[in-house]
Amino acid sequence: MNSDNWLGVTFYMLALILPLSALLTRRVPFPKMAGMAAIWAAIILVAMMIVGMTRDGIGSGWARFTALLSSDEQRVSGGAVRLRMASDGHFWANVTINGVPQRMLIDSGATTTSLGMDAAKASGLDVEQSRIPVPIQTANGMVMARTSSIKRLELGPIVATDLRADVADEFGGMNVLGMNFLSRLGSWRVVNGWLILEPKRP
């Protein structure tokens, strides 16, 4: 978890502990206290989701909530990058694109790396490189995307240059590292809930 997530978890944990401490001082019987604790936990859970939805929309609100509970983690071991499977069942990577931090989904089912328009522009991609949009088949249907190129993508010690990327508004905040990135690696595999990415050796 990043520092913002830890602050969020700490806040909500304190919000749950305070009413429980009040119940303890009143010596409420354990069965009743457990029931009231469950009610308070449900109230805080709903509050977390409402706050997230109000601020950024339903999708972003749910994403923020799952991020608080996420156990995804990224480590470098030797020359390899190890990514722990997140609570949503996917593998997420913290990368830099042309020096700009981005969070991306590793998807072996995607042929090409793809970025939302905001992420592409923030990372300095030339979204006008391809003047004629090309049709891209996604899980949500056909999308007309522009083809661009990432000059430098870094994932820990792994570096990819001149990596093709499809860019479209429809991708929103879902940025994906596809097979055109994975195929440049020496190897990649999943072992006990970890995705292990090995760079190609010289």
Of 56-70, 144-158, 159-173, which gets the smallest average pLDDT? 56-70
What is the pLDDT at residue 86?
Answer: 92
44 and 104 in a single domain? The answer is no
CB atoms within 10 A of CB 50: 11
Number of domains in the chain: 2
* 182 vs 71, residue with greater confidence: 182
92 and 184 in a single domain? The answer is yes
Report the distance separating Cα 90 and Cα 195, nearest Å. Answer: 10
Q: Across residues 44-70, what is the average pLDDT?
A: 48
Domain boundary among 21, 50, 69: 69
Q: Across residues 111-131, what is the average pLDDT?
A: 90
Q: Which domain holds residue 166?
A: 74-198
143 and 52 in a single domain? The answer is no
95 and 186 in a single domain? The answer is yes
* 192 vs 71, residue with greater confidence: 192
Q: What is the DSSP string of 56-78?
A: H-HHHHHHHHHHHH----EEEET
Q: Across residues 104-109, what is the average pLDDT?
A: 94
The residue count of the chain comes to: 202
